[in-house]
Chain A
Amino acid sequence: MARILILSSDVVRTELVRAVLMGLQAEVRVAEDLAAFYRLTEQLVYEVVLVVGVWPFCCGAEVLRRVRPRPLRRPEVYLLSWHQAEQTVLGMLECGVDQYMTFPLNPGRLRAKVIGVLER
């Protein structure tokens, strides 16, 4: 079964993303802080990682380096954030984020993108 990891410190947004992914043939896990996130990424490999907010990237691309240790398979990293400034978006894409989606979200679109990744 595929695995999806959500990194979010906010209860409402975590449950929002979890509800959007409901019913998929995938196991969804949640990390509320970076320590839990690193612990979960060390234990298992994930197909999709959803990061809510840009706060994990305050230390640069360390988050993605830990999620994508070689030679294991590279998960898709989606970032969901309120920031819309061009510099922020470009900075995150340069860090290695695969998709940058801004709030307000379209639940159908997010679900379709995750399904597309899981069906590859």
Chain B
Amino acid sequence: MMVRYGYILYIAVMGCWLVGLLRRVVLVWLARRRRGYVQACYRRVVRQLMVLLLEERVPEEIALPIGRLPRWREALVDMLCRIGTAVYALPMTTWRGVVCRYGLERWLLGRIRRTRGVRRAGYLKQLADLPMSRTIAAEVVRYRADKCQQVRFCALLVGLVAEPAELLRLVATYEARLTMSEAAEVLHLLRRRLVPIAYRPLLESPYANLRCVGLAIVAQFGIEEAEDALLTMVAGEDAELARRALWVLVVLRAPLRHRAVRQCVRCFSPQERQRWMRYLAGEGYAMGQVRWLFGEEVYYGALIGSYKRSLVCG
């Protein structure tokens, strides 16, 4: 009797285990099939979107097979943002037509209102990547006073996109100091919107943020003629900007044998000195430069030995 019950219990347990395994296999297969289906839909929509934009179709002709995608508004916004950042001079009528046709601006505003922190900043960034109306941009102005620094910066980006003529004023009057990545974002916006900006007035501007943008332009385009302006900034009173100008000098592989550079470097903490030496070794500066700047040889000698590259900056 006990043996029979034992057999029944054993069969029941094995049966449950088999059913669980089978269920898991079926769920994995269905998920994979759905993922393949969603990817195929995604590709089809991206392809049609590109055809619409490149052929400059009028907004009345816009009809994307978007309904079958899960979370289709999110997917469509993502596609438009990625296309918009990767291509110059998209036809504004068609691009704006797609945004209005599917109510993406209002949807994004709703998301911005209902979220906080980094998620809100992400949605604001997406709004900045789309062609938007001034009324929408006006509704975002209040986020420039948000607690989160990323939200404030993304709200600034929305303002820059809506009013490109006010770009310099908005960047100059932004309360916080732009970080290097934020300055690079502003620069990217300038390139996309084909806004010509001269770097020298920016470097000589009394506003710190405009000087940050100027530094980003010089670093990105390798403008060696700006060396004198960079040295002036290194010798300036603003320590943060002096360090950034020093970094840009190294990016340009400029010689560092200037009194201003030496005085700036002498103010570094020991950890900063080591970090800088590692950076200089990575960029190919020879021992002579470092000896003149830091007066240290042993640590830098070991760094040069560990970097398998030729020295290019004597």
Q: When the two chains form their complex, are residues A12 and B79 in contact, meaning their CB atoms are under 8 A apart?
A: yes
Contact status of A13 and B86, CB under 8 A, knowing A19-B54, A104-B192, A107-B54 = yes
Binary A-proximity of B203-238 (CB < 8 A = 1, otherwise 0): 000000000000000001110000000000000000
Chain B residue numbers with a CB within 8 Å of A105 are 86-88
With beta carbons under 8 angstroms apart, the residue of A13, A15, A84, A103 that contacts B47 is A15
* A22 interface residue (CB < 8 Å to B): yes
Q: When chains A and B are docked, how far (Å) is the Cα of A16 from the Cα of B54?
A: 10
Min CB distance, A93 to chain B, in Å? 15
B221 partner residues in chain A, CB cutoff 8 A: 84
In the complex, A68 has a CB within 8 A of chain B: no
Asked if A3 is at the interface (CB within 8 A of a chain B CB), the reply is no
Contact of A16 among B50, B192, B220 (CB under 8 A): B50
Total of A-B residue pairs, C-beta within 8 Å? 50
* Nearest A residue to B45, CB-CB: A15
> Interface extent on A, as a size class?
10 to 19
Assess whether A86 is interfacial by the CB under 8 Å rule: yes
In the complex, are the beta carbons of B86 and A11 less than 8 A apart? no
Tell me whether chain A's interface is mostly helix, strand or loop, or mixed: helix
B134: min CB distance to chain A, Å: 24
Flag whether B39 is at the interface (Cβ < 8 A).
yes
Contact A11 B42 (CB under 8 A): yes
Judging by beta carbons under 8 Å apart, are B192 and A19 in contact? Answer: no
CB distance from B308 to the nearest CB of A (A): 14
A102-120 interface with B by 8 A CB criterion: 103-107
Q: How far is the CB of A54 from chain B (nearest CB, A)?
A: 15
A20 cross-chain contacts in B, Cβ below 8 A: 50, 54
Asked if B43 is at the interface (CB within 8 A of a chain A CB), the reply is yes
Interface centre among A12, A18, A107 (most CB of B within 10 A): A12
Bits for B38-65, please: 1 = Cβ < 8 Å to A, else 0.
0100110011001100100000000000
Interface residues of A in 54-104 (CB under 8 A from B): 84, 86, 103-104
Asked if B39 and A15 make an inter-chain contact with CB atoms under 8 angstroms apart, the answer reads no
Decide if A15 touches B50 in the complex (CB within 8 Å). yes
Establish whether residues A22 and B51, one from each chain, have CB atoms under 8 Å apart when the complex forms.
Answer: yes
- Closest residue of chain B to A20 (Cβ to Cβ) is B54
Q: Which of A13, A20, A104 has the most CB of B within 10 A?
A: A104
Q: How far is the CA of A20 from the CA of B86 in the complex (A)?
A: 12
Q: How far is the CA of A84 from the CA of B221 in the complex (A)?
A: 8
Specify which chain B residues have a CB less than 8 angstroms from the CB of A86 in the assembled complex. Answer: 222
Asked whether B54 lies within 8 Å of A12 as measured between CB atoms, the reply is no
A24 to chain B, nearest CB (A): 13
Closest A-chain residue to B90, C-beta based?
A107
CB of B32 within 8 Å of the partner chain: no
Given contacts A20-B54, A104-B191, contact A15 B43 (CB under 8 A): yes
State which residues 9-28 of B face A: CB under 8 Å.
Answer: none
A4–chain B nearest beta-carbon distance, Å:
16
Q: How far is the CA of A11 from the CA of B83 in the complex (A)?
A: 11
Instruction: List CB contacts (< 8 Å) of A12-51 with chain B.
Output: 12-13, 15-16, 18-20, 22
Q: 6 smallest A-B Cβ distances: which pairs?
A: A19-B50, A15-B46, A12-B82, A106-B88, A104-B88, A15-B47
B interface residues, Cβ below 8 angstroms from A: 39, 42-43, 46-47, 50-51, 54, 79, 82-83, 85-89, 191-192, 220-222
Beyond known contacts A12-B79, A13-B82, A104-B191: 15 more, CB 8 A cutoff: A11-B43, A15-B46, A15-B47, A16-B86, A18-B50, A19-B50, A20-B54, A22-B54, A84-B220, A86-B222, A105-B88, A106-B88, A106-B89, A107-B54, A107-B88
